[in-house]
Structure 1
């Protein structure tokens, strides 16, 4: 498959007390192919959202490269980065806080077009109308304020806003976790339909393995800022090789009693990502255990 995003050796460290550093993302390398959904999973604090912010260049990486559609954006200035922002947009976890409560939904969806000076006022209005229909809302919904929508409808407005500039990549950071289960299904169905119709690539950040198994093509498992397993959906879910991946799957609740896994979880706290001055985590080395299935070596 043709790569849209190529991340190589991506690292992000944050300063901490007494010269220590928080190693939020450490030496991550991965690829997002065109028309593909790459899911990134792991427990809270593993670096999923930081990785998403780095790929979107909301944060500047400490080191490493982020190549989007053939251009390395990791060190571009804001002015040079601006045209590349049209290629990638983000859908956040909480649709209510993502929208200005004082502005109508139609204005929120039109904002990216105005900011990037796309089209005339008339053409933008028509574009917004078509975007509302695309995400299965009516054109009349353009006049509503955020509080007049349900949670699922608000997230549809946020998806419409993300699509306004016709991006190639959508980064969805826990985009359905704040929604009711029944609403999650309809929003996921919409995202899959949009991917088929528009040829979108998704970086799908989630802690919900059932959703990841439903929507992803490939899965990257993160632990303490590093990718410990990467493979196709079937490889990771049917043949998990890394101990941490197995623990994640064992911990996931499964409603069907015939599919439940035996829980063999061990206690203990997750190690801290804070490293004292002059120290750093050891970079994992991956083995390709099957074509396209990479697993970090364990001691």
Structure 2
């Protein structure tokens, strides 16, 4: 029998984990919404950002989150370059298939580069607050998970404000909803798509820094994330940022609740089960349709 405090703690940790999932999946939703591109390298960039945070802490002794000063603008530029000079050259008829192959190659290049630089040894940042926790109604909540969740909330709110309150955001939403109509009103959709990819990869930079606070990292770690993140954006509704966030929170909670009776290995299958059921009964995703257009 699972005790009440343990169930409550698992629920809170599931919500915190879901927030991290939502942040990591937001970029994938942006890529698909803008150009129908399946960006397999997104998780590899998350791991790259985590390595930069780890190295930043090792060299400077400063908090790894301060590495965002470097990684966010750097990843934004890299995302812009990838879209403008690689993905935009693909033929529209084969865009989805060729983007999978191209971004798969980028992921392998990042993994190989990290392996050559740091070998396959697992790394972890030793933080002064790494083992601290906060007691909440009898539950012990790790401080690093609270910080990661707060960072995810800040990043997602900032992304929402950009999309809703700025001229760039309006142009991005117009490009996502109807590229041809956006072009008719004078929007340079190719340039806007580059900015959108930059924003998507900037979320990977933030997600990598958040991940580095609580996870052991190694070059091939990104393959562990590809399946769950893809499942989240499909369940949430391809192209829907709020849909992906809702799906991430729900699946994060369900995964940790399932760990209590079946263990962590089998609990991971909830993502693939949710993906399978969604494709069978609602291929557009649970929050597709109108919500996907609202952001």
TM-score, normalised to structure 2's length? 0.29
TM-score, normalised to structure 1's length? 0.29
Larger relative contact order (C-alpha < 8 A, sep ≥ 6)? 2
- Larger helix proportion of the pair: 2
